[in-house]
Amino acid sequence: MEITKKKNIVISNPETRDFLADAFYPENGIGLPLVIFVHGYKGYKDWGAWNLMAEKFAEAGFFFVKFNFSHNGTTVGDPLNFGDLEAFGNNNYSKELSDLGAVIDYFTADKAVDQDKIVLVGHSRGGGISIIKTYEDERIHGLITLASVDTLDRFPKNEAFENWKKEGVYYVTNGRTKQEMPHYYPFYEDYEKDVHRFDVERATEMAKAHFLIIHGTNDESVPVKHAEHLHLLHPNSELYLIENADHTFGAKEPWESGQLPENLNRVTEKCIRFIKEKI
C-alpha cells in the first residue's frame, strides 16, 4: 500500500498562532477514519517514534494526523527544537483546546476523511486535553488515552506555589536538552478562571465516545493509578495495561531504529483493533 505523507502543513488559529501538522494516509483513500494524535507536556509531533506510529496507522487504513500545539515551544520555522521558550511559558489549556479544535476543523474538511469516524489519541497531558475535547465536541466518536493524566491540576503546591505567584515564573529543566523551560503564572490564572471546564474527572464521566485507556505498569511520569481511576470514572471504557512499559512505551528521542519499540508497537496494534471494532 502506498502511503501519502504530508509534513509540516501550516494550520492557522486566530485565537493562538500558526502551528504545524502532519497527515499520513493511504494514497487515493476515501472515507477514512480520522485519527488525531495529541502530544503531551514537553512533547512535539516529530518526537521519538511518532512518525513510525503514524505510518503504521496509515497502513491500517486510517487518515492519521499529528501536530504541534501552537505554544509547545517549537515554531513553524523549526519544528524539531524548543526554540521559543517564551511561547512555551505562555502556554495554557485554553490554547491547547483551541488548537485541537482548529486541527479537527481543518482535517474534517478533507475529502478523504469520513466525518462520522473521528478518534483522538492523547498521550500524557495530551490525554487530559483529549478527554475534555471529547466531552465538549460531539464530532468525536472515539477516544484513546496513552499514559494519560487524570487531572490537569499539575501545578506547584504549597510554598513552591506561593513562590511562583510572587515571582511570576517557575522553571522546569528539560532532561534531554538541558533547557530551563519557563511557566508564567498566567498559566494558572487561566486554569483557575475556568476550573470547571478543565475538570478531567467530570469530562471522563460525561464523555459519550468509545473509550480505550492504555497505560504501562512501570510509568515513571504518570503512575498507573491514573489509568485505573479513569476506568472507574467511565465504566464503559476498556482498560489495557502493558506490563513493565514506561511512559513512552519504549520510545525515546532520538529514535534511530526503523522499527517501533516492542511496547509502542503493541500499543499501536491495540489502537488499530479498537478503532476497527468500535468506531
**Cα(195)–Cα(210) distance, rounded to whole angstroms?**
25
Instruction: State residue 26's pLDDT score.
Output: 98
pLDDT tens for 94-109 read 999 999 999 999 999 9
CA 3 from chain centre, in angstroms, equals 23
Instruction: State residue 196's pLDDT score.
Output: 98
Q: Is the model's pTM score more than 0.95?
A: yes
Tell me which residues of the chain have a pLDDT lower than 50: none
Reading the block at residue 176, the C-alpha cell is 534531554
CATH classification of 3-278, choosing from 3.40.50.300, 3.40.50.1820, 3.20.20.70, 3.30.365.10?
A: 3.40.50.1820
Q: 198 near 149, Cβ under 8 Å?
A: no
Sequence-distant (6+) residues with CB within 8 A of 76 are 8, 10, 18, 19, 20
The residue count of the chain comes to 279
Residue ranges covered by each domain of the chain: 3-278
Sequence-distant (6+) residues with CB within 8 A of 217 are 224, 241, 242, 243, 244, 245
**Cα(135)–Cα(73) distance, rounded to whole angstroms?**
27
Distances (CA, A) of 135 to 24, 93, 120, 140: 26, 15, 12, 8
**Cα(268)–Cα(248) distance, rounded to whole angstroms?**
12
**Cα(224)–Cα(169) distance, rounded to whole angstroms?**
30
Instruction: State residue 1's pLDDT score.
Output: 85
C-alpha torsion sign, points 64, 147, 187, 200: positive
- What number of other Cβ atoms are within 10 A of residue 139's Cβ? 15
Instruction: State residue 235's pLDDT score.
Output: 86
pLDDT tens for 220-278 read 999 999 999 999 999 899 999 999 999 999 999 999 999 999 999 999 999 999 999 99
Q: 216 near 224, Cβ under 8 Å?
A: yes
Nearest Cα residue to 81 out of 165, 6, 174, 169: 174
